[in-house]
Amino acid sequence: MSLRRLVAAALVPLALLASACGGGGGGGGEGQSFDDNSLVIYSGRNKNLVGPLIDKLRTATGLDVQVRYGDSAELAAQILEEGADTRADVFFSQDAGALGALSKHQMLAPVPQELLDRVAARYRSSEGTWVGVSGRSRVIVYDPRTVAAPPKSVFELTDPKWKDKVGWSPTNASFQSFVTALRVVAGEDKARQWLEAMKANGAKSYPNNVEILNAVDDGKLQLGLINHYYWYEKVAENGPNGVPSRLAYLPGGDPGALVNVAGVGMLKGTGHGEAAKKAMDYLLGADAQKYFADTTKEYPLVAGVPTAPGLPPFDSLKGPEVDLSKLDSLEQTITMLQDVGLV
Amino acid sequence: MSVRRIPAGLLTPAAVTAALALLPVGYLVVRSAEGGLDGVARTLLRARTLELALRSLGLAAVVTALCVAIGISLAWLVIRSDLPGRRLFGILAALPLAVPSYVAAYTWVAAVDLEGFTGSVLVLTLCSYPYVYLPVAAALSRMDPATEEVALSLGRGRSGVVLRRLRPSAAAGALLVAMYVLAEFGAVAIMRFDVFTTQIYTSYRAGFNRTPAAVLGLLLVLITLLIVVAESRSRGRASYAMRGNPARRPPIIRLRAGTRALALAWSTALAGLAVGFPLAGIGYWLLNGSSARVDLGELSGAVGATLGVAAAGALLTTALAVPVGIIAARYRGRTATFLEQSTYVGHSLPGIVMALSFVFFAVRYVPAVYQRSPLLVVAYAVLFMPAAVGAVRASVLQSPPVLEEVARSLGRTPLQTVRAVTLPLALPGVLAGAALVFLTAMKELPATLLLRPTGMETLATQLWAETGSGAYAAAAPYAALLMLLAAVPGFLLGRRSLKETT
């Protein structure tokens, strides 16, 4: 009898496995048929934000698109572990750093020049391996209940009057791009001094932009260094009266006004090159660019698509000139953050 | 228990389990070696590495101590005192297992000005004290009252002898808590407390250089193994081997009125903070946001996927744990120790390290299962093996070895004896272990994100996606459903802890 029980116990998982596999939504990359109508996208961008866009992409291109959502850096690590056998055809990253890492490891195929040319040179890879599809500005979020005049430069944040009042996210990719900009604009020594002075001034570390924004709205912080669109998303969720904080866009090429990008690249090992190009073409087309402007409140990077009302115009943003594709520079940033003891 | 040869029928499957559990270490060695001696030394010798290791150990020590205190006090009140509503409190004491630590952390951060070390201690303690409560409650209800009577008759207090007899079960629970805290990342990140795992995640997230992360992962394995070895040294298994259930139930102690009021307040406060508070937090998400929407198709898909992979994970974990657990309970020697301790390795690593090692091996050697459910199920088994092995070992220890010796003397082979005597007697405890794994697997996030089939979403990944875009109201149904479903095995575990008392 106990034997029968054992056998039963062994059969149950098999049955469950079978059902789980069946219900598991396709299973990407199975049976490497090179039918160019199917496409696997690894998306480091949130499902809520780009899911509807992917649906539009499916309709517009007729492609059978499967999306694997995750964290940009973790997906990049996954693709690096997969190596030449990667299941991804296209990588849709939240930031340039993860794309740069794949490019550096020779994982990305060249993007057709025609697609690259739609975007200004500073928002795409200098090697032509990835291209930005939407822009986001670094901003200072502040609490108008306690802050009358927000700072006009990140260099003011080391002032004792902001002691223990500023939130930042040293582990966050877009913060790290900002530090890279800081190094380019102010030089290595001044950048390091700024980080040390901020640390000494009690800057508080948060895991991500959303948490910083929440802390400012809850009155726990007076200032925070974030990307602009998180604020607009929160206004959409809580209503304009549910978000007490306001945004300050910094003038005069301040590193705190850096414009980052989310972008796409095509994997070298893809068997679906034509489909991948179609998808990238769609993301750089008027439809998708309008979606980024209106729905995710980002800046369209292709000329001729207007910015959403309520945002400062794209050409009014005065960010510093930084080559986002220089990953080696990002590694120096990480080393600096480690030396200062922030990550 | 004796020093006998382990029969091949047990040894072979146990060796498979151990090999599986050690797989991630192989991956970490490969990736560490890529960096050369230089890269390894650079990571190990950084002052920050030592600082964060000490922080992690400090956090683990404090949380574990608090969990032991809470777990023992609750178990004693529920099993041995006349606390009013003690059956209800017994069930409530297991339910914090159903609360994902990241949900609890979000709730606390949003509601109270609490963060850093204190906040991390609070959240992790409230989420993990059931790991101590459950085994201690079980041990208390099986304890032979004769021992206490002897102590009393000798003029000694009751508590000393009771505590000493609870040591192995409390230590087993404490070990799970300590390992859980060492590998934890989500809740401490929300509490803005940098620990050892923070550095591992940062290496992956920022550096794209996998050597530092791998070196730190190996160091974490080493630290965990030291703790495991220390626990097993202090366990002194032989002297605690049970001789079956005692003939009499231990007496119920009457509390004085004042003590009783205090005890009631203590139990109520714990249940309220650990279970009620996160529930209220989810209610607040729902009411406060405008993103509230329920896509029934997505919701039911996520429920189906969650239940499917978690149940398969629980069954596979238990099946793999049975041979190891039996060996740990009935055999001594280096092989037995090695087999048992190797199963702790997977549990000591953060989910992302585990998941990447499975990506590495599956893509290279078994591409057919890569990004299919079976791989995720195997990963769950490696992650949650210690809880299952512990359950099997404890339940096998409860039945007297003499029964097995009788079966052997009647001509049964060792394997026949396991099938006919050991397993049937241990079955209830083994199933309780499976329930624990089932519940933990339902909440798992980092490995699920990397290993699930493309397109499959579980309740945990949906919850992650919704909160990631700040859509807390839309996240609420997933969080609520996850807690509700996990509460079912939690309820069964809580009820089981009471069963033997009435």
Q: Which one of B301, B449, B471 has the shortest CB-CB distance to A237?
A: B471
| Mean pLDDT, rounded, of chain A | 87
Report the chain B residue with the minimal C-alpha distance to residue A175.
B206
B192 and B340, same structural domain?
no
In whole angstroms, what is the distance from residue B399 CA to residue B411 CA?
Answer: 20
Q: In terms of Cα–Cα distance, which of A152, A145, A119 is closest to A255?
A: A152
The reply to whether residue B456 touches residue A205, judged by beta carbons under 8 angstroms, is no
Q: Is the pLDDT of residue A25 over 50?
A: no
CATH topology of domain A35-135+260-312: D-Maltodextrin-Binding Protein; domain 2 (3.40.190)
> Across the interface, do B289 and A237 touch by the CB < 8 Å criterion?
yes
Nearest of B457, B311, B289 to residue B380 by alpha carbon: B311
DSSP string, B211-261: HHHHHHHHHHHHHHHHHHHHHHHHH-HHHH---SS-SSPPPPBPPPHHHHH
Q: Locate the domains of chain A by residue range.
A: 35-135+260-312, 137-258+329-340
A230 is in an annotated binding site: yes
A40 contact residues in B (CB cutoff 8 A):
454
The answer to whether residues B319 and B457 belong to one domain is yes
Spatial separation of the C-alpha atoms in residues A96 and A115, rounded to whole Å: 17
Is residue B277 located within the same domain as residue B368?
no
Which distant-in-sequence residues (6+ apart) come within 8 Å of B152 by Cβ?
Answer: B158
Residue B346 CA to residue B25 CA, distance in Å, equals: 8
| Nearest-angstrom CA–CA distance, B256 and B199 | 50
* Interface test with chain B among A69, A106, A179, by most B beta carbons within 10 Å: A69
State the Cα–Cα distance between residues B224 and B231, nearest whole angstrom: 11
DSSP assignment string, B44-84:
HT-HHHHHHHHHHHHHHHHHHHHHHHHHHHHHHHHHHB--T
Query: How much of chain A is helix, strand and coil, in % rounded to 5?
Result: 50, 15, 35
What are φ and ψ of residue A322, in 5° steps? -140, 135
What does the pLDDT read at residue B206? Answer: 63
Residue B30: inside a domain, yes or no? no
B-chain CB neighbours of A77 within 8 Å are 204, 208, 210, 352, 356
In a domain, B451, yes or no: yes
Nearest beta carbon to residue A74 from set B46, B449, B454: B449
- Cα nearest neighbour of A176 on chain B: B206
Residue B140 sits in a domain whose CATH number is 1.10.3720.10
**10-residue mean pLDDT series, chain B (502 residues):** 76 94 93 85 84 94 97 94 92 94 88 87 96 91 79 79 85 92 90 88 73 90 89 64 61 88 95 94 82 83 95 96 93 90 87 92 93 95 93 87 90 89 89 93 94 93 86 88 93 82 42
User: If pLDDT is split at 50, 70 and 90, which confidence band does A19 have?
Assistant: very low
Q: Do A2 and B420 touch (CB under 8 A)?
A: yes
Q: Which of A10, A23, A48 is the closest to B471 by Cβ?
A: A48
Cα–Cα dist A65/A40, whole Å: 6
Record: contact B456-A25, CB cut-off 8 A: yes
Ramachandran angles phi, psi of A308, nearest 5°: -65, 145
Q: What is the CATH number of domain A137-258+329-340?
A: 3.40.190.10
Which of B283, B225, B318 shows the shortest CA–CA distance to B22? B225
B29 in any annotated domain: no
Mean pLDDT (whole number) for A292-312? 92
Q: Which residues of chain A make contact with B198, given a CB cutoff of 8 A?
A: 171, 343
The amino acid at B396: V
Degrees, nearest 5: CA angle B418-B424-B427: 115
Q: Give the integer Cα–Cα distance in Å for A4 and A8.
A: 6
**Is B250 within a domain?**
no
Q: pLDDT of A151-164, one tens digit each? A: 999 999 999 999 99
Domain-located, residue B86: yes
Asked if the structure places residue B425 within a domain, the reply is: yes
Torsion of CA B395, B396, B399, B401, to 10 degrees: -160
Nearest of A80, A91, A30 to residue B374 by alpha carbon: A30
**In terms of domains, do B84 and B227 share one?**
yes
Same domain, B280 and B338: no
Q: Do domains A35-135+260-312 and A137-258+329-340 have the same CATH topology?
A: yes
Output b/e per residue, A191-224; b: 16+ Cβ within 10 A.
bbebbeebbebebbbbbbbbbbbbbbbeebbbbb
- Name the pairing type of β-strands A166-168 and A223-227: parallel
Angle at B202 between CA B199 and CA B208, to 5 degrees: 125
Q: Could A70 and B207 be called an inter-chain contact, meaning their C-beta atoms sit closer than 8 Å? A: no
Count each helix (H run) and each strand (E run) in chain A, helices first: 12, 11
Task: Mark whether B441 and B362 lie in a shared domain.
Answer: yes
Q: Please give the Cα distance from A316 to B180 (Å, whole number).
A: 50
Helix (H) / strand (E) element for A100: namely: helix A96-104
Q: How far is B359 from chain A (nearest CA, A)?
A: 7
Q: Which of A279, A303, A305 is nearest to A292 (CA)?
A: A305
d(CA A297, CA A317): 15
Partner residue opposite B308 with nearest CB, options A23, A211, A230: A23
> CB–CB of B189 and A207 under 8 A?
yes
Name which of A5-14, A281-290, B224-233 the model is least confident about: A5-14
Q: Are residues B369 and B458 in the same domain?
A: yes
Q: Find out whether B104 and B278 touch, Cβ atoms under 8 Å.
A: yes
Any idea which of A28-37, A78-87, B442-451 has the lowest mean pLDDT? Answer: A28-37
Tokens encoding A106: 């020779």
SS3 A318: coil
**Could you give the 3-state DSSP secondary structure of residue A263?**
strand
Burial class (CB in 10 A: 0-12, 13-18, 19+), B367: middle
Token output for B477? 């149904």
pLDDT computed for residue A172 by the predictor: 86
Cβ contacts of B465 on chain A, cutoff 8 Å: 46-48, 69
In a domain, B103, yes or no: yes
The answer on B362 and B324 residing in a single domain is yes
Distance CA B56, CA B197 (A): 8
| Residue B307 sits in the same domain as residue B166 | no
Residue with tokens 């037995």: B336
Q: Calculate how close chain A gets to B373, using CA atoms only, in Å.
A: 6
**How far B365 CA sits from the closest chain A CA (Å)?**
11
A166 HSE (CA, 13 A, CB side) = 27
Residue from B201, B216, B369, B371 whose CB has the most chain A CBs within 10 Å, to mutate: B371
Give pLDDT, residue A11.
45
> What pLDDT shows up at residue A35?
57
CB contact under 8 A, A171 and B288: no
Residue B145's pLDDT is what? 79
pLDDT at B467: 84
CA distance A195 to A182: 10
Contact list in A for residue B449 (CB cut-off 8 A) is 69-71, 74
Q: Which residues of B are less than 8 Å from A329 in CB distance?
A: none
Question: Domain check: are B134 and B56 in the same one?
Answer: yes
Structure tokens at A298: 């980002």
Residue A288 to residue A281: CA distance in whole angstroms: 10
The answer to whether B70 touches B129, Cβ cutoff 8 Å, is: yes
Could you give the CA distance from residue A33 to residue A121 in angstroms, rounded to a whole number? 36
Is A291 annotated as belonging to a binding site?
no
B296 lies in the same domain as B326: yes
Residue B340: which domain range?
1-23+292-469
Please state the domain count of chain B: 2
Read off the pLDDT of each residue in A196-225 and give the average, rounded to a whole number.
93
